[in-house]
Structures are given as structure tokens and as C-alpha cells.
């Protein structure tokens, strides 16, 4: 029983009270300290990038890589509105050569895009901002940290955790596994909606048309349909397996556009 009382101390439910922009919910039950999660995610990201480099798959096409990094530089200054710790994050943006239609942002601001998502969906800058903003949204709202906390709990068990509540002693392997799962499993619907909203606001504030979000999800849906028609050979976009689409997604985005279009207007015409 004592343990659950301790748990309560860690419950942080803060909805941001802003006068303008979107409203989202921060993650609960963040047992693992942010610093632990970010260090572990950073190590996993580094390993992934080194593996890609060794296989010649770390894409150096300056046109595409610089484009991604420029859009990240435009979005990032607005990130602290949703998580003030983001100011200290060591952001990274890399492009991996792969037909995978995917992108992610690990805890602590480690972003990866795959050439497959740029090429297959023929993304405009505003659409890249939509997807990057959405991914950054997951990181800012600490969805990965919440999931890692859950995974670590499952892996080592609540009894063990209660003995050494000092989570610095959680083994490297357990953390590494949790960090991988944090970007390879689907998010909950509420987390998806909130990441969409953060993406809309980051886009709008950085001068990218937030209406591009509608176009992105329409493209994603068309690709999934084409994949289904092609039968077993058809590949549904991997992005949809970690970011489940739902029928109401586009409607929710459209319903929230009036909250961010004024921000876009201000940013586009300073």
C-alpha cells in the first residue's frame, strides 16, 4: 500500500492553461526520471545512427537533410510552450535511407526521418512540419517516457522496484529495451490526438500552414488503401502501425484549426 502512496507523488497531470492555442494533457505515472529516459533514448538513437552509417544508410543528401534540419530549427523554439525542459534538449535530426514510410522523435529530441516517408508521400515543407511537429509532440508530452516507465515496471516488477526505488539502478538492458519499445509500439488514441494538436500549434507558430495536417493524413489513408488493394505485396505505411489512424482524426484536426490559424496568420505576416 505504501508503494501506491509513493506512486501518487509522481502523478503529474497538468493541462496547460494557455490563453491561445491548443489544450493537451501531460503524461501521468512518469516513474522514470526524465534524465534517465533521455540518456537511454540518446544511447539507443546513437546506436541506431551508427548502425545506419556502417551500412551506408545514413543519408547525407544535403538538400534533404538540410531541409529537415531547417524545419526542425523553425519548430523547436516553440517547443518549450509544452515542456520547458525541452530548452536543454540536445536535439538531433537525421535522415535514414529506407523505403520505410516512417519518422520518429525519441525522448530528449532525437528525430529521425526515413527517405520512404519523404519520397512516397512527396511531402511539402508544411507537411514535413506536420509530421515532425506531431513526433516532437509525443516527445514533449512525454508519451515515450510514460511508456518506458510502464515497460520497466513490467520488466522488473513492482516488488523489485519498491525495494530500490532509486531508478538509477535499473539495468541498462531493461532501459534499452524500454527505449526501443517506446518508438516501436502504437500509441493510445488520446496520445495521438494530443500529438496532432501540438503538431498543429508548432507548425502554425513557426509559419507553416497547419492545414497541411489534413493533406498528410489524406495521403496516408490513400497509401494504406493502395496497399490493401495490392494484397499481400502491398505495404501499409509503417507510420500507421505506430500511429494508428482513426476515422475521426481528420475531423478533430479540422475542428482545432480555428485555434491555430490566427497563430499562423501572425507568424506568416509578422
For Zn ion, the binding residues (CB under 5 A) are: 192, 195, 243
- Kindly report the number of other CB atoms within 10 A of residue 119's CB atom: 12
Q: Give the shortest CB-34-to-Zn ion separation in angstroms.
A: 20
CB of 138 to Zn ion, least distance (A): 6
Provide the minimum distance between the beta carbon of 191 and Zn ion in the complex, in angstroms, as a whole number.
7
CA nearest neighbour of 40 among 135, 109, 136, 107: 107
Catalytic-labelled residue, pool 38, 74, 92, 135: 135
105, containing H or E segment: strand 103-106
Distances from the Cα of 75 to the Cα of 128, 137, 180, 251, 270, angstroms:
11, 11, 25, 24, 16
In angstroms, give the least distance from the CB of 109 to Zn ion: 16
- Rank residues 129 and 195 by Cβ distance to Zn ion and give the closer one: 195
Residue closer to Zn ion by CB (options 161, 199) is 199
Between CA 135 and CA 104 the distance in angstroms is 6
Closer of 118 and 220 to Zn ion (Cβ): 220
Of residues 132 and 152, the one with the C-beta less far from Zn ion? 132
> Taking the alpha carbons of 255, 82, 100, 64 in that order, is the dihedral positive or negative?
positive
Query: Shortest CA distance to 116 belongs to which of 95, 93, 98?
Result: 98
Is 135 designated active site? Answer: yes
Report in angstroms how near the CB of residue 140 gets to Zn ion at its nearest: 12
Position with the least CB separation from Zn ion: 243
SS3 80: helix
Q: Give the integer Cα–Cα distance in Å for 83 and 80.
A: 5
Please say which residue, 192 or 209, places its beta carbon nearer to Zn ion: 192
Residues tagged active-site: 135
Amino acid at each position: 500500500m505504501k508503494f501506491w502512496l509513493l506512486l501518487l507523488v509522481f502523478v503529474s497531470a497538468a493541462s496547460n492553461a494557455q490563453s491561445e492555442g491548443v489544450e493537451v494533457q501531460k503524461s501521468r505515472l512518469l516513474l522514470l526520471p526524465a534524465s534517465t529516459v533521455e540518456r537511454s533514448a540518446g544511447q539507443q538513437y546513437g546506436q541506431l545512427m551508427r548502425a545506419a552509417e556502417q551500412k551506408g544508410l545514413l543519408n547525407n543528401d544535403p538538400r534533404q537533410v538540410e531541409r529537415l534540419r531547417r524545419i526542425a530549427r523553425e519548430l523547436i523554439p516553440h517547443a518549450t510552450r509544452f515542456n520547458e525542459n525541452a530548452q536543454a534538449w540536445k536535439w538531433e535530426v537525421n535522415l535514414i535511407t529506407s523505403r520505410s514510410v516512417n519518422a520518429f522523435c525519441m525522448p530528449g529530441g532525437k528525430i529521425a526521418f526515413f527517405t520512404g516517408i519523404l519520397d512516397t508521400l512527396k511531402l511539402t515543407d508544411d507537411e514535413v512540419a506536420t509530421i515532425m511537429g506531431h513526433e516532437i509532440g509525443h516527445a514533449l508530452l512525454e508519451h515515450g517516457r510514460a511508456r518506458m516507465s510502464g515497460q520497466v515496471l513490467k520488466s522488473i516488477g513492482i516488488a523489485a522496484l519498491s525495494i530500490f526505488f532509486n531508478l538509477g539502478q535499473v539495468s541498462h538492458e531493461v532501459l534499452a529495451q524500454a527505449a526501443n519499445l517506446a518508438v516501436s509500439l502504437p500509441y493510445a488514441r488520446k496520445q495521438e490526438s494530443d500529438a496532432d494538436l501540438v503538431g498543429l500549434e508548432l507548425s502554425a507558430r513557426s509559419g507553416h500552414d497547419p492545414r497541411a495536417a489534413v493533406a498528410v493524413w489524406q495521403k496516408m489513408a490513400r497509401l494504406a488503401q493502395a496497399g490493401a488493394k495490392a494484397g499481400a505485396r502491398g505495404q501499409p505505411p509503417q507510420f500507421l502501425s505506430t500511429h494508428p489512424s482513426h476515422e475521426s482524426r481528420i475531423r478533430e484536426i479540422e475542428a482545432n484549426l480555428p485555434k491555430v490559424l490566427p497563430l499562423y496568420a501572425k507568424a506568416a505576416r509578422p
